[in-house]
Each structure stands twice: as C-alpha cells, then as structure tokens.
Structure 1
Amino acid sequence: MIAPKIAFAALALLMISLPSTVHAQDVPGIEICTVEKTMERRTSCLQSNVDFLQKTITKLTTDHQQKSDAANRQIEALKGAVISLQKVVSDLQAAQNKAAEDAKKATPASKDATPAAKDAPPAKDGAK
C-alpha cells in the first residue's frame, strides 16, 4: 500500500524538478528576412522562403489534381447513369407507343359503333 504512494510522490517530485523550458521548433513558413543583418543569413532566409513556397505550390497542385481526377471520375459515372436512364426512357416510350397502337387496333374504327349508342334506350331523368 505504501509503495504506490511513494511511487506517486517520487513522480510528482520528478515532474516538479524537470526544467520547464520549451525548445523552439523550426516551423516552416514565410519569414521576414529584412531583419537579418548579415548577407549570408538573409540569403539563407530568402532561400528558406523560396523552398517553403515551392513545397506549398507542389502540395496544392497535387491536391487540386486529385480533386480534379475525382471529379472527372464522378462525371464519367454520371454520364453512364444518364445513358442508362435514357435507354430506359426510350424503352418505356416504345412500350407505351406499342400499347397505344394495340389499343387502336382493338377498338373498331368503323361508323357502326356510333349508331349502336343511338339504339340504346334514353336514360330516364329522375329529376322530373
């Protein structure tokens, strides 16, 4: 029981005694090179800016190319879907036209169909 307490106390003392200084990291980015006094440091700073910009341009170009390729793939897939839907629509229109022609053939187009309606007894009007 005492061992965990001692270990915790030792860890706490160790954390307190560690130096709290944080070392700066070189984060890539654009630097203001006019503050450099010597020509060598100014040249190095400018070269660092050029390298950063070239890497950024390369990364952005790659990203945009990947997005463009993905968009082109999606466009091609959508074109295929449109073509298949156009085929379905044309098949349905052909079937509808065939059904309309079959319906025209099934109904007699002669004048005898009209007088048959005249031979029927008149409907009685219940509102008299």
Structure 2
Amino acid sequence: MRGLEVCTAEKQMDRRTGCLQTNDEFLQGVIERNARDARQRLDAAIKELSAARIEINALKAALAATTARLDKLEKAKADQPRTK
C-alpha cells in the first residue's frame, strides 16, 4: 500500500530513497486532502452558525415586539372602567 511501504527492505540506496520519497509524497497528499476537507467542513459550519445567529436575532426581535404588544393590551385592559 502506498504511503505504508517498508522501505528498509530495499537494499539499494537509490531504490530506498525512491520508496521513501513516494511514501512522503503520498502522505503529504493525504494530509493536504484532509486539511482541505476539514477547512470545507469548518467553512460550512461557520455559515450555518451565522445563519442560526441571524434567525435567533430575528426571533428575539419578534418576541420583544409581541411582548410589547401584549403589555400594551394588558395595560389598556387594566385602564378600562369596570362596569357591573
């Protein structure tokens, strides 16, 4: 398997060096691919978090407006004269 070859089994130094270089190149590629994938997942999570924060702020504003309207209605009801 590339990247996991046992290069010490090679007797000739040029073949051993080539084997090590191949392993190194393969493993560097795996590292780069994993870093790129992790960055893409992180970017997607950041976008999702940003959208969630926007939605939370909108819901907070809607809740504040509804609470204000409810308070206004309760005050108006309390100010009405009571008739029996």
Supply the RMSD in Å over aligned alpha carbons.
1.5
Counterpart position of 1:68: 42
1:45 maps onto 2:19 in alignment: yes
**Residue number in structure 1 paired with 2:31:** 57
Provide the C-alpha distance between the structure 2 equivalents of 1:74 and 1:90, rounded to a whole number of angstroms.
24
Q: Percent identity?
A: 32
SS across alignment from 2:15: helix
- TM-superposed CA distance for 1:30, in Å, is 1.7
TM-score after normalising by structure 1: 0.62
Q: Which has the larger radius of gyration?
A: 1
- Which residue of structure 1 lines up, in the alignment, with residue 53 of structure 2? 79
Q: How many residues align?
A: 84
Q: After TM superposition, what 4+ stretches of structure 1 lie above 4 angstroms from structure 2?
A: none
C-alpha contact 1:33 1:45 (8 A) present in aligned 2: yes
1:83-113 residue CA offsets vs partner (Å, 9 max, x unmatched): 10001100110001000110111135xxxx8
Report the TM-score when normalising by structure 2.
0.93
- 8 Å CA contact retained: 1:29, 1:52: yes
Q: State the partner residue of 2:2.
A: 28
CA displacement at 1:53 relative to structure 2: 1.0
Q: Distance in 2 between matches of 1:29 and 1:51?
A: 8
Between Structure 1 and Structure 2, the one with more helix by share is 2
| CA deviations over 1:32-89 (Å, ceiling 9, x no partner) | 1011010000000000111011101100000000000000000000001001000110
Structure with the bigger RCO (C-alpha within 8 Å, sep 6+) is 2
